[in-house]
Structure 1
Amino acid sequence: MENEVLFSVSDGGVANIVLNRPLALNSLSYEMLKPIGEKLKEWEANEEVHIVVLKGEGSKGFCAGGDIKMLYQACSSPEALEKAETFFEVEYQVDLAIYNYSKPIIACLDGIVMGGGVGLTYGASHRVVTERTKWAMPETDIGFFPDVGAAYFLNKAPGFLGRYLALTAAVIQSEDILFANAADYFMESKQLLEFLSRVEQTDWHGQEVLETLNKLVAEYTSRPLENGKLAAIQCAVDEHFSQNSITDIFQSLDNDSSNFALETKQLLLSKSPSSLKITLKQLIDGVNQSVEECFATDFILAKNFLKHEDFYEGVRSVVIDKDRNPQYFYKTVSDFSDEAMDKFFQDSSVTLK
């Protein structure tokens, strides 16, 4: 557990947070998140710190999300359940602190950035993607829901793309990440290293920090070479995913003979029906909610999913046994009633099937 997060502060006033579990794609644990939250608070009060840089060790990814195997243990004992609940509580607190941070945070979305990794980066003031970035909210793949404030930030994507990304768990790359408003700048990975070196070598004391930083960012920013895909499918996404129930989304897709509709329907059919219904309601409710309200809902949902057998079956099929053949309790969307769905958004002390 030691050194799973590295912290440092340069003489020029740059504080660095490096996620240091490269063999696990820097997946997050409570033991990592707690000191991150403490350091962020300490540095915000420290007048010698002017900029925070958030990055991951290794070339494969910034962060693949939360430690799913640890969360899977929550079904084994009350102690493990409490540990999982505490993980989510601390994770959401850290994510929210980044949204509200008073100093610039440079988030390096290089390589894989998924789930909890998205949560750590979305609220940062300067979010940089590279040609290696693969971004997703993949929670419906494991019978969970897109948390870490997703009901807030996915609704910032154009049209109904946020719903599409949440429900399908689609993986997108730099051009589409920028299009979805999940990042601000593109730099080639080599350029990002040079940019970070310049940031580290600059003396930020006495500077107009934000103005100087923005000028420096502009020197290294370029456009992605690959063409994005989301803009091309947005009309189709908006047509189908503007529906306000999963049943209506399926009906809309059934009325469309295009390859997009056929492929999207098959993708949705591979997900947990309960996960789909809860996710759609979560995103619809989030349209008019503050980021704080969205995180509060996430915590209720997360605690209830930890009591939900389809979550554990999803994790088993993808992460534990890797057979990709989940046998969900709720086989179809109609099996999971609106009443059962509504319970997930209520008191998390309720025992759920």
Structure 2
Amino acid sequence: MENEVIFSVSHGGAAIITLNRPKALNSLSTEMLKPIGEKLKEWEANDQIHLIILRGAGEKGFCAGGDIKTLYKARSSQEAFKNAEVFFEEEYLVDMAIYHYPKPIIACLDSIVMGGGIGLTYGATHRIVTERTKWAMPEMNIGFFPDVGAAYFLNKAPGFVGYYLALTASVIQAADVLFANGADSYMTSDNLQKFLARVEQMDWHAQETNIALNQLIETYSSKTLGNSELASLQNEINQHFSKYTVEEIIESLDNNSSKFSHETKQLLLSKSPSSLKITLKQLLDARDKTLEECFATDLILAKNFLNHEDFFEGVRSVVIDKDRNPQYTFKTLADFTDEDMEKFFQDISATVKK
């Protein structure tokens, strides 16, 4: 268990966090998050540490998100439910710490970076994608919602691209991640390894860290493979996803004969109606919220989803039985009322304590 995350420090003052569950695509557990949070605090206070590298072990990805199978156990006992709550609390604390970190953090978005993996990387100062990057907020596929501060950062994507990514759970690659403000630089995967080796070899004690790091990134960076598909679709995305209800988005898509509109409509109709409605409200409400306010809402929503039958049905269909045939309690958008939706944004645990 203690090797699920590896910490190391180079002689030159570069600290490395390696997520080390390659067989599980480095998916996050509470046992990984707690030590990451502690180590970040320790390194922040250590003047000999000048920058942090966030990377994943293995060839398949940086991090595929949270350990969904563990969360699926939440309804099996009170203890399992509490453990799931603690997971979200720890995850969000680490994500916020990365946003506010006073030292440079290099995030390696190589291969699969999804859900909780994006939560770990979005707040980093230097985010690098490669030709192998597969980036997504896939929560809509399991009857959940895009958490880890997604309402904050998806609102920072151009136009309504973030809304499209959240509601469709689309997987995008390097050029699109850069366009959506999910990364800063592009390197080939080979160059990324050379760059990281150079970072570990350098004596950062004798450098002006930010200047030297930016120069190094420029040296190893190159142009992305092709143009952003999202950029070419932005006008169409804005036309449909600027609506204030999911029903209006579906209607807008239905009134357009393009291939994009048809495919996107079918994609949305395959998702959990309750997740779609909650997610759109979450994004709309977050427009004027701070990072901390967005994470506070995420925690309320996450805990309420742990009592939501459609979340467990979504996980069952994708992760447990893998039949891809969820039988949701709320089968249509009309079934999930505004009153149902409002309950998800209320902190039930706080009410109970009173």
Query: Could you state the TM-score of these two structures normalised by the residue count of structure 1?
Result: 0.98
Deviations 1:154-176 (A, max 9, x none): 01100000000000000000000
Matches of residues 336-347 of structure 1 in structure 2 within 5 Å?
Answer: 336-347=336-347
In structure 2, the residue matched to 1:21 is 21
Q: Which letter does structure 2 place at the counterpart of 1:170? A: S
Amino acid at match of 1:36: I
Q: Name 2:177's counterpart in structure 1.
A: 177
Alpha-carbon distance in structure 1 between the residues aligned to 2:225 and 2:238: 26
Aligned to 1:233: 233
Shift of residue 2 of structure 1?
2.5
The Cα of 1:228 is off from its aligned counterpart by 2.3
Report Cα offsets for 1:205-237 as digits up to 9, x if no partner: 132110111111110111112332101111110
Distance in 2, matches of 1:75 and 1:262, equals: 37
Amino acid at match of 2:228: G
In 2: Cα distance, 1:80 partner to 1:183 partner: 35
Q: Which amino acid in 1 is paired with 2:120?
A: L
1:213 counterpart residue number? 213
CA shift, 1:257, in A, is: 1.0
SS in 1 for 2:304: helix
Q: Which amino acid aligns with 1:24?
A: A
2:175 maps to a residue whose letter is E
Equivalent in the alignment of 2:322: 322
Q: Which residue of 2 aligns with 1:282?
A: 282
Question: Which residue of 2 is the match for residue 223 of structure 1?
Answer: 223
| SS of match in other structure, 1:333 | coil
Residue 67 (structure 2) aligns with: 67
The question of 1:87 aligning with 2:78 is answered no
Alignment of 1:44-193 (within 5 A): 44-193=44-193
Structure 1 residue matching 2:106: 3-state secondary structure: strand
Aligned residue number for residue 334 of structure 1: 334
SS of structure 2 residue aligned to 1:18: strand
CA distance in 1, matches of 2:325, 2:198: 48
Distance 2:23 2:14 in 1: 26
CA distance in 1, matches of 2:13, 2:173: 32
Instruction: Quote the Cα distance in structure 2 between the aligned partners of 1:133 and 1:348.
Output: 38
CA distance in structure 2 between the aligned counterparts of 1:128 and 1:298, rounded to whole angstroms: 26
- Structure 2, unmatched stretches of 5+, are none
Q: Please list the CA deviations of residues 114-159 of structure 1 after superposition, one character each: whole Å capped at 9, or x if unmatched.
A: 0000000000000000000000000000000000000000011000
Structure 1: gaps of 5 or more residues: none
Contact 1:137 1:146 in 2 (8 A): yes
Partner of 1:32, secondary structure, is helix
Contact 1:301–1:348 (8 Å) recurs in 2: no
* Residue of structure 2 equivalent to 1:12: 12
**How many Å separate the matches in 2 of 1:86 and 1:244?**
33
The alignment partner of 1:15 has SS state of: strand
User: Is the Cα contact below 8 Å between 1:19 and 1:56 reproduced in 2?
Assistant: yes
Please state whether the residue corresponding to 2:213 is helix, strand or coil. helix
Aligned residues: 351
Deviation at 1:247, TM superposition (A): 0.6
> Does the CA contact (< 8 Å) of 1:110 and 1:133 recur in 2?
yes
Deviations, residues 47-67 of structure 1 (Å, cap 9, x unaligned):
000000000001110000000
Question: What SS does structure 1 have at the residue aligned with 2:225?
Answer: coil
Scaled by the length of structure 2, the TM-score of the pair is: 0.98
The 8 Å contact of residues 12 and 202 in structure 1, kept in 2 or not, is answered as: yes
Which digits, 9 at most, give the CA deviation of each residue in 1:236-281, with x for residues without a partner?
A: 1000000000010011011101111110010001100000000000
Q: Distance in 2 between matches of 1:305 and 1:296?
A: 14
Contact 1:151 1:282 in 2 (8 A): yes
Q: Which amino acid aligns with 2:167?
A: L
Report the Cα distance in structure 2 between the residues aligned to 1:2 and 1:225, rounded to whole angstroms.
38
In 2, the alpha carbon distance for the partners of 1:225 and 1:233 equals 18
Residues 56-103 of structure 1, C-alpha deviations (whole Å, 9 max, x = no match): 001110000000000000011110000000000000000000000000
1:262 and 1:254 mapped to 2: Cα distance? 7
Query: C-alpha distance in 1, partners of 2:342/2:163?
Result: 19
| Structure 2 CA distance for aligned equivalents of residues 215 and 224 of structure 1 | 18
Structure 1 CA distance, aligned partners of 2:102 and 2:334? 46
Alignment of 1:227-266 (within 5 A): 227-266=227-266
Whole-angstrom CA distance in 1 between matches of 2:283 and 2:45: 35
SS at match of 2:3: coil
Query: Aligned letter for 1:175?
Result: A
Distance (whole Å) between structure 1 residues aligned to residue 227 and residue 234 of structure 2: 14
> What is the alpha-carbon root mean square deviation over aligned residues?
0.9
| Partner Cα distance (1:148, 1:302) in 2 | 10
Specify the SS of the correspondent of 1:334.
Answer: coil
Supply the distance in 2 between the matched residues of 1:150 and 1:223 (Cα, whole angstroms).
27
Q: In 1, Cα distance between the equivalents of 2:84 and 2:347?
A: 17
